[in-house]
Amino acid sequence: MGKLKINRPFTYKAYALEEGVEYTSTRHIGDLMAKSECHYYTEKAILDHLQANPGDTKVYLIYQVTQDPDAYDHEDRLIESIRIKDGRINIILD
């Protein structure tokens, strides 16, 4: 039997945003940094980047983005924001 493919009606996208810029829970702004069908890999890409760049002042936003317009929950939504503050990586679940 071949490898099974997972079919999800959504994906996760991470955007890098300059600190101080206002953002909302449904409007994607900033530069696309990572994209994955798995939340873990999207978050890991950000955490790896921040570990390598401890002086980074950007805010990273992870959105759950709907791929299927017929899905029950077709609104894109902010899942979490990640930033470095006071020398620590802060993850805020939205």
Contact 82, 91 (CB under 8 A): yes
The predicted pLDDT at position 56 comes to 94
Write down the pTM of the prediction.
0.86
Does the residue 14 lie in any domain? yes
Does the residue 5 lie in any domain? no
The predicted pLDDT at position 67 comes to 78
Does the residue 29 lie in any domain? yes
Does the residue 69 lie in any domain? yes
The predicted pLDDT at position 2 comes to 78
Does the residue 16 lie in any domain? yes
pLDDT under 70: residue ranges of the chain: 1, 71-74
The predicted pLDDT at position 1 comes to 65
Does the residue 3 lie in any domain? no
What domain range includes position 77? 10-93
The predicted pLDDT at position 83 comes to 94
Q: How many domains does the chain have?
A: 1
The predicted pLDDT at position 71 comes to 66
Does the residue 4 lie in any domain? no
The predicted pLDDT at position 62 comes to 95
The predicted pLDDT at position 73 comes to 66
93/12 Cα distance (integer angstroms): 14
Does the residue 2 lie in any domain? no
Q: Which amino acid is at 72?
A: Y
